[in-house]
Amino acid sequence: MLAVALTVVSCGGPRPPAPADPEAAVRAFLGAVRANSLVAMGEIWGGSRGPASAYMDPAELEQRLTVMRIYLEHEQYEILPPGESGITGDRSRERIVRVQLTRKGCTPVVPFTVVKWRDGWLVSNFDIAAAGNPARSCEPGETRRSS
């Protein structure tokens, strides 16, 4: 059924505008993760070709987004201030947004790569290793929250 919804989105009418800035793209993506909305995630995840829902096979898109949702599941998150590592490559087209997730007592810092698309930004990648294993409370090197 989800593949049908993703197909409708990919073939349907006008697309919603991409989030206006890099941080807004990450917030929207993590909001879609929290809401368990693969359709919304597919509208915010993509690259220079646009949202993945516009060009990716719906079954493959659903599979990829499901894995991302599992790894990015969280109770809360905080977007960290940009540092020297906050910008890579062409500053006007690609940015790194660092996010501290709170999940199962751990607070891993996960870098998200966002790319410019039309008048907005899309999440193109995140460091899945930095997100940690979602089946465990903490991996070595992850920060455990103090109670």
Instruction: Give tens-digit pLDDT for 37-89.
Output: 999 999 999 999 999 999 999 999 999 999 999 999 999 999 999 865 455 55
What does the pLDDT read at residue 144? 55
Closest CA to 101 of 121, 82, 80, 122: 80
Domain 2-6+18-129 is found in CATH 3.10.450.50: yes
Distance set, CA 109 to CA 20, 96, 116 (Å): 23, 12, 23
3 state DSSP class of 50: strand
The whole-angstrom separation of Cα 14 and Cα 30 is 23
Residue 101 contacts residue 126 (beta carbons within 8 Å): no
Ramachandran quadrant class, 37 (left: phi over 0; alpha: psi -120 to 50; beta: rest): beta
Q: Which pLDDT belongs to residue 98?
A: 96
